[in-house]
Amino acid sequence: MSVQRLALSIVSICLVLILGLAAFGDRLTLKDGKVLEGTVIKQGDRYWVKTSDGSTQYVSIDDVSKLEKGSGKSITGSSDIGGGSSSAAGFSSSLASTQRRANSVDKPLAAVTIWQDFIDSKPSEADLKVAKEELARWKSMAENGGEKINGRWVTGDEYKSLMTRYRAIMREATNLLSHDDLLKGAEKVEEARRIYPNDFAVNFWLGYVELKKRNWEKAIPYFDAVLKLKPNLPEAMANVAIAEWFKSNYRDSKAVLKMHDAAKQGDNEEIVFDLISMLNASPPAFLRSTAGKAAVEDARLLSYKYKINQNAQGTIYYVRLHEESVAEHSEHNMWSGTGFILKDDGLILTNRHVAKDAKKLMVLLHNGQQNAAEVVKIDDEQDLALIRLKNADSKLPVVRLAASDLPMDGADCTVIGYPLVDRLGGSPKITHGIVSSSIKKGAMSVKSIGLEGLTDEIDVLIDAKVNPGNSGGPILDKYGNVMAIVCMKSLASETEDSYGMGISAGRIRKFLAKNRIMLPRGENGTSTLSVEDIAAKVEPAAVLIFATK
């Protein structure tokens, strides 16, 4: 055999071997038409692929349209992708999809709600076992505090240490910026962002720095980023209005309307002054329009609240971030509140602003169990809502409404709730105080105590401390009965303490009666209970509510 013929034979044999190996290799076809050939191994919700050139990569299941294993078997459709390995591992398509969604979240509580929702869908026994294990894992992470930061999960003591460091730096940055030390303040904000980029506050303060520099075009995107995380945050809305006002050289009526919207969302002295100043510089034609007249009327009312001259103009204040206002505006996709069980079948009373707009509701009971819930009724007139557990396993502990419709001034009160869950954890917190005032018809109105921005539904003021997360929790009398439900707190300042505010048992009873729910009144005991006894009596009926969009 000649050398040339021998060489051709060797090449032919090699080609046959290569083609034969290719025929027995795996072939992955992506939805965009790209084809990957080599070794394909399923790993959870993705594939590890090693191609013939030795390079490796990961491919999400969602990006694959067909997998052909080396045997020549073709598998199509997302429910079967993986050559049978998905079902062999005990994963249905629905379970795998749930796992992908849970693994994509930034906070463990969001994953807890996702897995609870899957469990409530009554999956197969095999899927249920996996789901319960996943739920327990995420719940443990949530209880220890944790979050995905810079691409990795940080939990436990490391998370607490990181957040302590972040908050200290942000306090320093806020102090510097408040005293117009822009360069050092901006440096501190950047340092904080490197540590914890998830917080909207870093974008807010960077936008604030650009306002101070009069860089209107650069400031607006920062505040737009804030509003994606904190929709309707009044300070961010106001600063966008300010930037657009100056950018238009004081001629943009839309900027005035945005400032008006900010004031309606949550007024403070800076926002009100800016609104009045803008209106006084606006053209007469705008002031005569329907929108202009509404803005002028609201500005006039707010000027009395803050004692601002209605003719003020010329000066515009850049609006700083107020902690109390931030606390009232929950996360864009998840927030928490409190509720209490009225009937042993799982009927729960909470605030309208806790339950409204929630796509999913999850309730954490005192014994650690969690259940999905659904909205029964949202009150359009008061900050009240009824929700019900979807799967109440047994009769649940309940709390009764007080015999009296309205508490007496000076009465002792105890508040039970779940405030500041991200910082204080998911256990109930107890505060104690007195009823500062029950706002009786004709005796005192919300406007007369300087809170005219609030609605007239509030008729109980207490000096017991409440914070975000207490919303929907019970305010209890000395017998452990509900005298009112927490709905908000007044804003504190350097010279004023905050008050807790609520809706009385009498108004709650009317809301329930309107919805054909009649409950027995709580009984007054022969002797008053201690705060410890009240907590022991009512804690089992107080629940933590997580809501997600």
The domain spans of the chain are 21-72, 199-326, 336-446+453-549
Quote the CA–CA distance of 355 and 360 in Å, as a whole number. Answer: 9
What pLDDT score was predicted for residue 369? 82
| pTM of the predicted protein model | 0.54
For 203, 241, 259, 332, 542, the CA distances from 219, given in Å and listed in that order, are: 9, 11, 16, 21, 44
CATH fit for domain 336-446+453-549, picks 3.30.565.10, 2.40.10.120, 3.40.710.10, 3.30.420.40:
2.40.10.120
What pLDDT score was predicted for residue 380? 84
- Class of the domain covering 21-72: mainly beta
Helices of type H across 33-181 = 85-88, 93-103, 108-120, 125-144, 156-178
Quote the CA–CA distance of 266 and 254 in Å, as a whole number. Answer: 19
Quote the CA–CA distance of 268 and 325 in Å, as a whole number. Answer: 9
Burial of 141 (0-12, 13-18, 19+ CB in 10 A): buried
CATH of domain 199-326: 1.25.40.10
Quote the CA–CA distance of 486 and 548 in Å, as a whole number. Answer: 21
Residues 178, 179, 182, 188, CA torsion sign: negative
What pLDDT score was predicted for residue 191? 93
Q: Which residues contact 508 (CB under 8 A, 6 or more apart)?
A: 349, 384, 401, 482, 484, 485
What pLDDT score was predicted for residue 277? 93
What pLDDT score was predicted for residue 490? 61
Q: Are 500 and 461 in contact (CB under 8 A)?
A: yes
What pLDDT score was predicted for residue 70? 58
What pLDDT score was predicted for residue 512? 94
Residues of the chain with pLDDT under 70: 1-25, 43-45, 52-54, 69-93, 143, 145, 323-333, 422-423, 425, 439-457, 490-498, 549
Interior angle at CA 165, CA 162 and CA 167, nearest 5? 105
Q: Which residues contact 421 (CB under 8 A, 6 or more apart)?
A: 109, 336, 469, 544
